[in-house]
Amino acid sequence: MPAPLDIKVRAVHPDDATAILRVHEQSIRELGPTGYAPEEVESWAAGLRAEGYVEEMASGETLLVAEAESRIVGFGGLKSEEINTLYVAPEMARRGVGSALLQSLESIARDRGRRRLRLTATLIGEPFYRRHGYRELDRRKHPTRGGILIDSVVMEKDLAA
């Protein structure tokens, strides 16, 4: 079993975009196949651009990164009452990085007076979010950037509970 990771969560810096893009692509391509067919994974990974993170922040997303071993190993975003992105580098999966990011995002949402959080989980994220107290509201086909619809789960957590 690997040693516990020293994980630091912080706000994004403008020059993080390339490292975030690398984590995003690797996470989809290497963790995605545990829940989806190859063509679904490719459609999910299609069209990612480093500028996209900056654009999302300009449109109101709060984006955090997790660092461990002196590099970015995950990122997550919050917009209004929604966790709208959360990805962990595949070689760091199941070492608490996703939990550290999610707890920081929930804490920010609470500080802003939000009473609940929603998200659309992938089939890979579903057990992770259940573990963190999210409950299923609906199952849907969710559009990916490449156009293919993939199975997903709409989930919600009451932050006051």
Interface with ligand COA (CB under 6 A): 27, 31, 86-88, 93-99, 119, 121-122, 124-125, 127-128, 131
Closest separation in Å from C-beta 88 to ligand COA: 4
Closest separation in Å from C-beta 40 to ligand COA: 12
Closest separation in Å from C-beta 19 to ligand COA: 15
Closer residue to ligand COA, CB minimum distance, 17 or 85: 85
Q: How far is CA 20 from the centre of its chain?
A: 11
Closer residue to ligand COA, CB minimum distance, 93 or 117: 93
Closer residue to ligand COA, CB minimum distance, 114 or 142: 142
Nearest position to ligand COA, beta carbon: 98
CB contact set of 76 (below 8 Å; sequence gap of 6+): 63, 64, 66, 83, 85, 86, 87, 98, 101, 102, 104, 105
Closest separation in Å from C-beta 44 to ligand COA: 9
Closer residue to ligand COA, CB minimum distance, 18 or 34: 34
Angstrom CA distances, 42 to 33, 59, 120, 152, stand at: 10, 26, 19, 16
Q: Is 47 exposed, middle or buried (0-12, 13-18, 19+ CB in 10 A)?
A: exposed
